[in-house]
Amino acid sequence: MGIELNRRRFLSVTASVAGLAATGGLLSACGGGAQQKTGANSDALKSALPNYVPSSAIKADIPSVAGGPDILTDPGFLTYPSNPVTTVSGIPGKGGKYTTVTPLWGTIPSADNSFYQAMNEALGVTLEMKPADGNNYATIIPTMTAAKRLPDWIQLPSWWNANFNVGELAGSQLADLTPFLSGDKIKKYPNLAAIPTGAWQAGAWGDKIYGIPSFSSGFVFAGAVSFRHDLLEAKGITADQVKSADDLMNLGKELTDAKGGVWAFDDLWTYMFPAWGVPQKWKVDNGKLVHKYDMPELLEALEWHYNVATAGYLHPDAMAGNNADGNVRFYAGKTVIVGHGAGGWNASDHQSGTAANPNYRRAYFDFFTADGKGEPRIEIGASSRILSYLNSNLKPEQIEELLAVADYLAAPYGSAEYTLINFGVEGVHHTMVNGVPTATEEGKKNVQPQTFPFLASPASVISNPGSDVVTKDYTAWQAANVKHLKKPVFWNMNISLPRSMATADAAQAVEDAIKDCYHGKKKVSEVKDAITTWKSSGGGDKMVQWMDENVLQKFGTGQ
């Protein structure tokens, strides 16, 4: 996965939550060869991980709700904190000069612009920022690592771990941060210490810490089934009427009016299949590892989606595979219920929606099971999927300098540092309008959310200045559903799959067949055939066996 990562899918990762991207399970976020570092669940690692020291610098308007160990909703902020507090005393850097490479989906700011200058001054280092086209990042980085020309500081999103062979780069080209951060040593960097332990584990290879997590969260989910609250309300339908897949199917029939240009559904599959108890990728049954392709529940789920498509409840453009205009259809009310990636429920969604229809209001259904019985089980994703790494050529004092810079970048939401990093200098890049930092022309040109925060950032919060309804709805939904979140098999574990199994793991052919099936183009039996082929000549069975022997039996489930 991930090669064709599009902007929409990317947003689901960065905007506020590091979610599991559409097609990916955890395994696809794994490294290279069998001989390399695997595991990240050993006792040695547990002792290496940094201690968690939550920050009390800034109080949230809507506090987090815990749902279990490591599972926590994101705090909500209704207003941007006035009189921002400073969390870093003095200037972190000592005048070093470093290059950084980060992916950027959008316009690349010009080099050496006023924002970079302001940041460098505040950081006390010269960071030569080199954002690279996010759409080509998957091919750019492998050439760089093969040429052994990594910059001093680089962002390697974990959904590309296999592509970039991070498992092997860790230790050979990427610096081991364990000596600087493990245990209580991290207290030297209070803002880094306030990043939950799980996120550091997501950047661990072997028994050591390598990655610096950005956008970490305790509520990481792929997405959910979303609907137009305003449209359903107008018809007198409430969300709690949908308690099973059958309910949803009936609703689909009721809402679809093909002649009127309205279809009940856009693509649902990616965020809906967990309702049938299908995991993102793995399940352990009687101590044995089972791939989701081997589960009859997968075919049941597909059958339902196939029926939705062939019954004509799915928007024809969605059936044709046009996802790019999915939001446009939703805003225009041409679709009413859509699968929606995590992170996409935010202020810009609200603004676009209300621009099309002033009554626009998005909402999510509470998680439900397909048959309406039992407890829904939603697997959480890795605590961070945006991880930056330091070059192993750096001297220890340089690493310390950059960690101090990272500490500055990880300053909590609403702090003075956060304001500078995300909105630039007041009066130059932003002005405060109704208590909300608002970009000036200069700010619009040069302040990019995908530059410095991609090197390090604090744990995610939910904040949508100017769209309070989103913050309130979203935090309430998270709080109501946090109890359904469960850790999947191999949670936060970085697994290095042998290179030869990468194709079997990606299982592109099966994924393609599944896509055709929920678009009504292929029957479930054809998916079954694709899976059979994948198991034998596609190397699927071998891969499952390898995972069972080398990961499950050695390191356990990580749950």
Partner 1 sequence: MSSVDTEPPARKNKLSLRVRLRRDRSLLLMTVPAVALLLVFNYVPLFGLLTAFQDYNPLVGVWNSEWVGLAQFEALFGDSLFWGSLTNTLYLSFVQLILFFPIPIALALLLNSVLSERLRNLIQSIAYLPHFFSWVLAITIFQQMFGGAGLLNQFLRSNDISTWDIMTNPDTFVLLITSQAIWKEAGWSIIVFLAALAAINTDLYESSAVDGAGRWRRLWHITLPGMAGVIMLMLVLRLGNALTVGFEQFLIQRQAVGHEAADVLDTFAFYYGIATNNYSYGAAAGLFKSVISLLLIWGANKLAHAFGEDGLYRK
Partner 2 sequence: MTETLTIERTRDERDVTGRTAVRKRRRGKRPVWEEPPTAAGQTAKGLTLGVVVAVVLVPLWIIVVTSLSTQAAVNRAGGLVIWPTDVTFEAYRVMLGDPTVRNALLVSLGITVVGTVVSLVVSVLCAYGLSRSGSVAHRFILVLLILTMFLSGGLIPTFLVVTELGGYGQYWALILPGAVSVFNILVLRAFYSDTSADLIEAARIDGAGDWRILWSIVLPTSRAVTAVVALFYGVGYWNSFFNVMLYMPTDSEKWPLQYVLLTYVNRGNGLPGSVNSGFGSQFAQTAPLSLQMAVVVLTIVPLLLVYPFMQKHFRVGVLTGAVKG
Span of 109-117, 158-166, 351-359, 472-480 interacting with partner 1 by CB under 8 A: 158-166
Number of residues that bind partner 2 (CB under 8 A): 43
For partner 2, the closer of residues 211 and 437 by Cβ is: 437
Residues from 172 through 201 that contact partner 1 (CB under 8 A): 172-173
Number of residues that bind partner 1 (CB under 8 A): 39
Which position among 506, 527, 547, 552 is part of the footprint of partner 1 (CB under 8 A)? 506
Classify the phi-psi angles of 312: left when phi > 0, otherwise alpha if psi is within -120 to 50, otherwise beta. Answer: left
Cα angle 507-511-515, degrees, rounded to a multiple of 5: 170
- How far apart (Å, rounded) are the C-alpha atoms in residues 483 and 67? 5
From partner 2, partner 1, none, interface partner of 144 (C-beta below 5 to 8 A by class): partner 2
| Binding of partner 1 by 391 (CB under 8 A) | no
Strand 97-104 relative to strand 153-155, pairing: parallel
| Binding of partner 1 by 322 (CB under 8 A) | yes
| Binding of partner 1 by 32 (CB under 8 A) | yes
From partner 2, partner 1, none, interface partner of 509 (C-beta below 5 to 8 A by class): partner 1
Which position among 35, 86, 107, 525 is part of the footprint of partner 2 (CB under 8 A)? 107
| Binding of partner 2 by 508 (CB under 8 A) | no
Closest contact distance (angstroms) between CB of 500 and partner 1 is 6
Q: Which token pair is 61?
A: 């308007």
| Binding of partner 1 by 295 (CB under 8 A) | no
Please choose, from the candidates 391, 255, 250, the residue with its C-alpha nearest in 3D space to the C-alpha of residue 330. Answer: 255
| Binding of partner 1 by 530 (CB under 8 A) | yes
Residues from 82 through 101 that contact partner 2 (CB under 8 A): 101
How big is the chain by its Cα radius of gyration, in Å?
A: 23
Looking at residue 301, its amino acid is: A
For partner 2, the closer of residues 143 and 286 by Cβ is: 143
| Binding of partner 1 by 508 (CB under 8 A) | yes
Closest contact distance (angstroms) between CB of 268 and partner 1 is 20
Span of 48-56, 143-151, 304-312, 405-413 interacting with partner 1 by CB under 8 A: 143-151
From partner 2, partner 1, none, interface partner of 503 (C-beta below 5 to 8 A by class): partner 1
CB 457 within 8 A of CB 451: no
30: which residues sit within 8 A by CB, 6+ positions away? 161, 162, 167, 494, 495, 496, 497, 505
Residues from 115 through 144 that contact partner 2 (CB under 8 A): 130-133, 135-136, 139-140, 143-144
| Binding of partner 1 by 449 (CB under 8 A) | no
Tell me phi and psi for residue 541, to 5 degrees. -60, -40
Q: Which token pair is 238?
A: 């409430």
Q: Which token pair is 119?
A: 């940041």
Residues from 447 through 476 that contact partner 2 (CB under 8 A): 447-449
CB 19 within 8 A of CB 378: no
From partner 1, partner 2, none, interface partner of 169 (C-beta below 5 to 8 A by class): partner 1
Quote the distance between the C-alpha of residue 127 and its chain's center: 26
- How far apart (Å, rounded) are the C-alpha atoms in residues 123 and 127? 9
Quote the distance between the C-alpha of residue 230 and its chain's center: 28
For residues 253-279, one letter each, b for 16 or more C-beta atoms within 10 angstroms of the residue's C-beta and e for the rest, the string is: eebbeeeeebbbbbbbbbbbbbbbbbb
| Binding of partner 2 by 6 (CB under 8 A) | no
Classify the phi-psi angles of 315: left when phi > 0, otherwise alpha if psi is within -120 to 50, otherwise beta. Answer: beta
| Binding of partner 1 by 33 (CB under 8 A) | yes
Which position among 87, 145, 217, 419 is part of the footprint of partner 1 (CB under 8 A)? 145
For partner 1, the closer of residues 142 and 556 by Cβ is: 142
Cα angle 133-137-141, degrees, rounded to a multiple of 5: 125
Span of 235-243, 288-296, 315-323, 471-479 interacting with partner 1 by CB under 8 A: 315-323
Residue 346: C-alpha distances to residues 73, 343, 386, 469 (Å):
15, 7, 19, 10
| Binding of partner 2 by 432 (CB under 8 A) | no
Cα atoms in the 13 Å half-sphere on the side-chain side of 208: 17
Judged by the rule CB under 8 A, the positions of this chain that interact with partner 2 are 7, 11, 14-15, 101, 105-111, 113, 130-133, 135-136, 139-140, 143-144, 146-149, 151, 348, 422-423, 430, 437-439, 441, 443-449
Judged by the rule CB under 8 A, the positions of this chain that interact with partner 1 are 3-4, 6, 32-33, 135, 138-139, 142-143, 145-146, 162-165, 168-169, 172-173, 320-322, 324, 498-500, 502-503, 506, 508-509, 512, 530, 533, 536-539
